[in-house]
Amino acid sequence: MTQPKKYMKRIIDGSFLIYCIKKPHREYYAKETVEFQGGGTLSIQNLTEPKGRSPRCDVVLYDEEAGAEEDAYMAAESILDGSDIGLTIHASTPVKGTKFEENNDKLKLRETITGHKLIFSRDYDEIIFLINTPAKVARYEEKKRLWPEWYFDQELKCKFTHAMGSVFRNVVYDVYQLVNNEWVLKIPLILDERIVSGVDWNPVSGHWCVGGQWLENQKGFLVTHAVPIAVGYSHKLKEEAYNNIKAYAVHKKRLCIERGGINEAYVEWFKEWFGKDKNKRNVHVLYEDWDSAGINKTNAVLSMLDKTIYVDKIRFPKLAKQIENCRWDSDSDVPKLNKDPIDSPHALDAFLHAVNKRLLKDVGLRRFDWYGSA
């Protein structure tokens, strides 16, 4: 609350509470707390982090959460501590790159895990009876005609959308189902037998290994793994980080690794562990440079625009979100990717390394075999 006294007046004037106040009618207009005739109080206060530590309640409603300030949101989290109920309600118009979208994604995953319905939304087409007058219908149709599609979807269709639209349009997010504790494809796909992976380095947000298999006609790509390798600079990376790569990309696999500039230190670290590995066979490795202007990355994106990407939101939520949030820079007169508003998309970068067509054509690849004793 930014103006507690103003909201107190609105709450009381618009409800039966005006008849229950203990003090004379006009006095509460200057108050942030009122007492009722039958006992109890109603108080409204401007929430700050220090104030958020002391109040306790059972239910918190975040209204217009898409516009919530991060500090105020975090200050309110402790209010539910100690409550046996601890009910939090998030409500807002969907807006990309906000706390509301982040919490919406968390609740969608929790729905899948628990089997309980946690997200409720209704767009205008579902509640048409509320606008079933000629004037309201005409106004609705006018908005549909005049507003940009992304804005209409956001305001009236309960959809998280980008102003410029997502780069990747042909994406399937519901791919796997859990059967007897094993992930099984929901849809029949004829896949190329070769498994490809890409590695992208970032010491702060984390190094990623992402990959999968092409469809036999190479008109689509199925993501089968998206793994955070480790966090930290090359001198801090241990054998465990190499083993995370090895599990998906070393034995009888094809691997594309980012190199160039500051990435060379990580490449040398990988080569050192790779050279010690005596359990590798039929490994094809490609080292790929990306220019600082982002031209190579843009070309990698353009090569996938006519392909179908199969990336399961439940198994690979981080990568799926970065693919969904990938969009063009509206201020550039040439194709240029915009940066994700929430997270640095290094899982996406690893995915783009993995879909490098040279991994299938054996162009510029080095093959490694080891034939010693086990």
Helix (H, G, I), strand (E, B) or coil at 313: coil
Dihedral sign for Cα 301, 303, 305, 307, please: negative
| The pLDDT value given to residue 24 | 63
In this predicted structure, the answer to whether residue 189 has a pLDDT above a threshold of 70 is yes
**Distances 329 to 167, 185, 298 between C-alpha atoms, Å:** 10, 35, 11
Backbone phi and psi for residue 198, each to the nearest 5 degrees, phi listed first: -130, 145
233: how many CB neighbours lie within 10 A of its CB?
13
In this predicted structure, the answer to whether residue 211 has a pLDDT above a threshold of 90 is yes
In this predicted structure, the answer to whether residue 346 has a pLDDT above a threshold of 70 is yes
| The pLDDT value given to residue 214 | 96
Mean pLDDT of 294-301: 89
**Distances 332 to 156, 337, 338, 362 between C-alpha atoms, Å:** 29, 9, 9, 35
Instruction: In whole angstroms, give the CA distance from residue 371 to residue 366.
Output: 17
Q: Point out which residues pair with 212 in neighbouring strands.
A: 196, 223
Of the candidates 64, 28, 65, 33, the one whose C-alpha atom is nearest the C-alpha of residue 46 is: 33
Per cent of the chain over pLDDT 90 is 38
- Who's near 34: CB < 8 A, 6+ residues apart? 8, 12, 17, 21, 22, 23, 28, 41, 42, 43
In this predicted structure, the answer to whether residue 267 has a pLDDT above a threshold of 70 is yes
Is residue 77 within 8 Å of 112, Cβ to Cβ? no
Per cent of the chain over pLDDT 70 is 89
Across all residues in the chain, what is the average pLDDT? 84
In this predicted structure, the answer to whether residue 105 has a pLDDT above a threshold of 90 is no
| The pLDDT value given to residue 54 | 63
R_g over Cα of the chain: 27
Alpha helices for 37-98 (secondary structure H): 49-53, 70-77
Instruction: In whole angstroms, give the CA distance from residue 316 to residue 312.
Output: 6
Alpha helices for 78-179 (secondary structure H): 99-114, 134-146, 149-156
| The pLDDT value given to residue 371 | 43
pLDDT band at 329 (very low <50, low <70, confident <90, very high): confident
| The pLDDT value given to residue 6 | 75
- Classify residue 227 by burial, with Cβ atoms within 10 Å: 0-12, 13-18, 19+: buried
pLDDT band at 26 (very low <50, low <70, confident <90, very high): low
pLDDT band at 52 (very low <50, low <70, confident <90, very high): low
The model's pLDDT over 270-296, given as tens digits with 9 standing for 90+, comes to 999 999 988 887 888 999 998 887 888
In this predicted structure, the answer to whether residue 342 has a pLDDT above a threshold of 60 is no
Q: Point out which residues pair with 183 in neighbouring strands.
A: 178
In this predicted structure, the answer to whether residue 187 has a pLDDT above a threshold of 70 is yes
pLDDT band at 310 (very low <50, low <70, confident <90, very high): very high
pLDDT band at 4 (very low <50, low <70, confident <90, very high): confident
The model's pLDDT over 148-162, given as tens digits with 9 standing for 90+, comes to 888 888 888 998 887
Of the candidates 339, 366, 345, 340, the one whose C-alpha atom is nearest the C-alpha of residue 257 is: 366
The model's pLDDT over 353-366, given as tens digits with 9 standing for 90+, comes to 999 988 888 656 66
Mean pLDDT of 101-107: 89
Mean pLDDT of 301-323: 93
- Which comes out higher in pLDDT, residue 2 or 326? 326
| The pLDDT value given to residue 372 | 40
| The pLDDT value given to residue 132 | 78
Instruction: In whole angstroms, give the CA distance from residue 128 to residue 137.
Output: 9
pLDDT band at 373 (very low <50, low <70, confident <90, very high): very low
pLDDT band at 135 (very low <50, low <70, confident <90, very high): confident
Is residue 285 within 8 Å of 255, Cβ to Cβ? yes
Helix (H) / strand (E) containing 221: strand 220-230
Helix (H) / strand (E) containing 90: strand 87-91
| The pLDDT value given to residue 265 | 95
Of the candidates 6, 11, 9, 37, the one whose C-alpha atom is nearest the C-alpha of residue 23 is: 37
260 Rama sector, left if φ>0, alpha if ψ -120 to 50, beta otherwise: left
Dihedral sign for Cα 148, 153, 154, 157, please: positive
Q: Which domains, and CATH codes, for the chain? A: 4-114 (no CATH), 122-161 (no CATH), 171-368 (3.30.420.280)
In this predicted structure, the answer to whether residue 2 has a pLDDT above a threshold of 70 is no
In this predicted structure, the answer to whether residue 327 has a pLDDT above a threshold of 50 is yes
Specify the residue for token string 């029949």: 188
In this predicted structure, the answer to whether residue 25 has a pLDDT above a threshold of 80 is no
| The pLDDT value given to residue 48 | 65
| The pLDDT value given to residue 23 | 66
